[in-house]
Chain A
Amino acid sequence: MAETIIFQSLPSRPAPTQTEGLVPWAKANLFANWQSTLTTLVVGALLLYFIPQFVNWAILTATTVPNAEACRTPGVGACWGVITEKYRLIIFGRYPLEVQWRPLVATLLLLALLVASCTRAFWNKWLLVLWVVIIGTFFTLMYGNVLGLTKVTTDRWGGLPLTIMLSSLSMVMAFPLAIAVALGRRSKLPAIRTFCTIYVELIRGVPLISVLFMASFMFPLFMPQGVTIDVMIRVLAGLTLFAAAYMAEVVRGGLQAMPKGQAEAAASLGLSYWQTQGRIILPQALAMVVPSIVNNFIGLFKDTSLVGIVSLYELTGSLGLALNGDADWRPYKLEGYVFITLIYFSFCFAMSRYSLWIEKQVNKSKLR
Chain B
Amino acid sequence: MAEAKVAPRTPPTKRDWSWRSQAFRGLMYQILAVVLIGGAVWFLAHNTAENMRIRGIKSGFDFLTAPAGFDIGESLFPFDSNNPYWKAFLIGITNTLRVAIIGIILTTILGTMIGVGRFSRNGLVRGLCQAYVEFFRNVPVLLQLLMWYLLFTELLPDIADAKQVGGFFLSKGGLSFPEPVWASGHVWAIGGLVVGLVAAWFYRRWAQGKFEATGQLRSMVWAPIGVVVAFGIVGWLIGGAPSEFNLPKKGEFSVEGGGSLTPEFLAVLLGLTLYTASFVAEVVRSGISSVARGQGEASQALGLSKNQEMQKVLLPQALRVIIPPMTSQFLNLTKNSSLAVAIGYPDVVSIANTALNQTGRAVECIAIIMLVYLTTSLSTSIFMGWYNAKSAIQER
Contacts and interface: CB of A to CB of B under 8 A. Distances in A.
**A and B together in one complex:** yes
| Chain B interface residue bracket vs A | 35 or more
A303 B139 CA distance: 10
B122 A305 contact: no
A217 B147 contact: no
A280 interface: no
Contacts of A130: none
A337 B366 contact: no
Contact of B366 (A43, A189, A217): A217
Given A30-B123, A221-B47, A337 B349 contact: no
B337 to A, nearest CB: 8
A98 B37 CA distance: 47
A226 to B, nearest CB: 11
Contacts of B54: 225
Interface in B142-188: 142-143, 146-147, 150-151, 154-155
Interface stretch (A76-84, A119-127, A207-215): A207-215
Interface stretch (B28-36, B73-81, B263-271): B28-36
Contacts of A192: 29-30, 33
B363 A221 contact: yes
B63 interface: no
B370 interface: yes
Contact of B143 (A30, A205, A224, A344): A344
B121 A29 contact: yes
Contact of A214 (B120, B121, B141, B366): B366
Interface string A323-355: 000000001011001001100110011001000
B140 A349 contact: no
B329 to A, nearest CB: 12
Interface in B291-337: 335-336
Nearest to A37: B122
Interface in B40-60: 44, 47-48, 50-52, 54
Contacts of B51: 220-221, 223, 225
A160 to B, nearest CB: 13
Given A206-B373, A221-B52, A306 B363 contact: no
Interface in A9-48: 25-26, 29-30, 32-33, 36, 39-40, 43-44
Interface stretch (B86-94, B102-110, B338-346): B338-346
B341 A309 contact: yes
Contacts of B363: 218, 221
Nearest to A209: B338
A39 B117 CA distance: 12
Chain A facing B: main interface SS:
helix
A341 B147 contact: yes
Interface string B357-396: 0000011001001100110011000000000000000000
Interface string B5-49: 000000000000000000000100111011001000000100110
Contact of A213 (B139, B366, B374): B366
B230 interface: no
A36 B335 CA distance: 39
Contact of A32 (B29, B33, B121, B373): B121
A337 B143 contact: yes
Contact of A206 (B37, B52, B134, B370): B370
B362 A221 contact: yes
A44 B51 CA distance: 65
Given A36-B122, A195-B33, A213-B366, A334 B47 contact: no
A345 B134 CA distance: 9
Interface string A287-314: 0000000000010001101101100000
B125 interface: yes
Contact of B154 (A188, A202, A225, A331): A331
A29 B143 contact: no
A148 to B, nearest CB: 37
B214 interface: no
B204 to A, nearest CB: 27
A344 B362 contact: no
Contacts of A224: 47, 50
A210 B139 contact: no
Chain B facing A: main interface SS:
helix
B33 A202 contact: no
B319 to A, nearest CB: 21
Contact of A40 (B122, B139, B353, B373): B122
A172 interface: no
Contacts of A341: 139, 143, 147
B313 to A, nearest CB: 20
Nearest to A331: B154
Contacts of A49: none
A352 B139 CA distance: 12
B216 interface: no
Nearest to B31: A191
Given A303-B140, A337-B150, A209 B121 contact: no
A190 interface: yes
A202 B378 CA distance: 10
A188 B29 CA distance: 11
A107 interface: no
A60 to B, nearest CB: 20
B356 interface: yes
A207 B335 CA distance: 5
B139 A209 contact: no
A344 B146 contact: no
Given A207-B336, A225-B51, A29 B139 contact: no
Given A217-B366, A309-B342, A189 B138 contact: no
11 contacts: A191-B31, A207-B373, A213-B369, A218-B48, A221-B52, A222-B47, A316-B146, A334-B154, A341-B143, A344-B143, A345-B139
* Nearest 3 CB-CB pairings of A with B: A29-B123, A348-B138, A191-B30
Interface of A: 25-26, 29-30, 32-33, 36, 39-40, 43-44, 188-192, 195, 202, 204-210, 213-214, 217-218, 220-225, 298, 302-303, 305-306, 308-309, 316, 331, 333-334, 337, 340-341, 344-345, 348-349, 352
Interface of B: 26, 29-31, 33-34, 37, 44, 47-48, 50-52, 54, 120-126, 128, 134-135, 137-143, 146-147, 150-151, 154-155, 335-336, 338-339, 341-342, 349, 353, 356, 362-363, 366, 369-370, 373-374, 377-378
